[in-house]
């Protein structure tokens, strides 16, 4: 499950769709791990966009924070990092099992 808290940022529907398409791999990996929950918080402070992601799944919890000038860059980087961390958890779970 994914929860998006836009905070003080007005997101267009096209930006939401783009974010969801970038998060497809992370959602698939999270579904395979089980008990997946992703909470994304977006804030604007000055000229920067802060994107914070809190991830919870059966393998453990972690956070990811991006601070960029452009919102799309922050979303893309955050989606990549979340997917990589979930993949690492997936591999760690297989090695430990």
Structural domains in the chain?
2-96 (3.30.160.100)
Q: Is 35 left (phi over 0), alpha (psi -120 to 50) or beta?
A: left
pTM score: 0.88
| Residues of the chain predicted below pLDDT 70 | 93-97
pLDDT at residue 95, rounded to an integer: 52
């Amino acid at each position: 499950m994914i929860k998006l808290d836009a905070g003080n940022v007005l997101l267009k529907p096209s930006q939401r769709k783009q974010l969801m398409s970038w998060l497809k791999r992370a959602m698939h990996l999270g579904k395979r791990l089980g008990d997946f929950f992703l909470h994304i918080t977006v804030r604007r402070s000055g000229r920067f966009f802060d994107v914070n992601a809190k991830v919870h799944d059966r393998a453990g919890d972690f956070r990811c924070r991006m601070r960029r000038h452009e919102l799309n860059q922050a979303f893309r980087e955050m989606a990549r990092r979340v997917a990589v961390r979930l993949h690492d958890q997936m591999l760690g779970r297989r090695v430990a099992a």
